[in-house]
Amino acid sequence: MLAAISCGGSSPPPPAGTAPAPSSSLPEAPPPVPVRTATRLVVLGDSLTAGLGLPQDEAYPAVLGRKLKEHGYDWEVVNAGVSGDTSGDGRQRAGWALEGDVRLLVLALGANDGLRGLPVEQMKNNLQTIIDRARQRAIPVLLVGMEAPPNYGEQYAKEFRQVFVDLAHRNKVEFVPFILEGVAGLSRLNQSDGIHPTSEGAARIADHLWPAVEKMVKNDKMPKK
């Protein structure tokens, strides 16, 4: 019985008991195809972003994701909202939130700073750091403002509001002054706590943010990874 079968030529078979030499004619395995991460839009926020009290697919980032798909943009929307987060918490999370092929950051923090009456300069520094980290990765930022509750006085509310205006002007980023425009104070658009939007309210937030988001997505000029 033959110990091996020749793949061509007239060379005699090797002596019995001799292991066949490895074939040099076998095709090499193709190199692995690199997996490209999805093009991402990240929304860094608090409970308003996380969709507290709502199914995940009814929070406003999910609504933005559907809008993108409907308009032909194959982007993944990452909901990086954590209930209770202040701007300082967001600053600590910004590094990992911006991992991957992120093409746009929607920065929507500050509500809990206002609820707790935290120093406005501290909030300003935190938000500036997040913007700086995004810019280090060439990621455009959409800054979304918030209003402070009235219980800390008119002066605090004015200084709080001005933080977002100053940051938008200093960094020349796209800016939506108030995330809850058209939602705050309307009982039918808010849950029983009067703070967090219902599904309809979240859809209203997405509609409010959409013109700025669409403009920035259309202007996306980052190289594909």
Provide the annotated active-site residues: 47, 193, 196
CB 14 within 8 A of CB 4: yes
For residue 152 the two structure tokens come to: 């800390």
Please give the Cα distance from 43 to 55 (Å, whole number).
Answer: 17
Please give the Cα distance from 85 to 112 (Å, whole number).
Answer: 7
> Where do runs of H (alpha helix) occur along 83-140?
87-97, 111-116, 120-136
Phi, psi of 211 (to 5 degrees): -55, -45
Please give the Cα distance from 66 to 74 (Å, whole number).
Answer: 10
Please give the Cα distance from 189 to 186 (Å, whole number).
Answer: 6
Residue given tokens 């929304």 in the structure block: 43
- For the chain, how big is the Rg over CA atoms in Å? 27
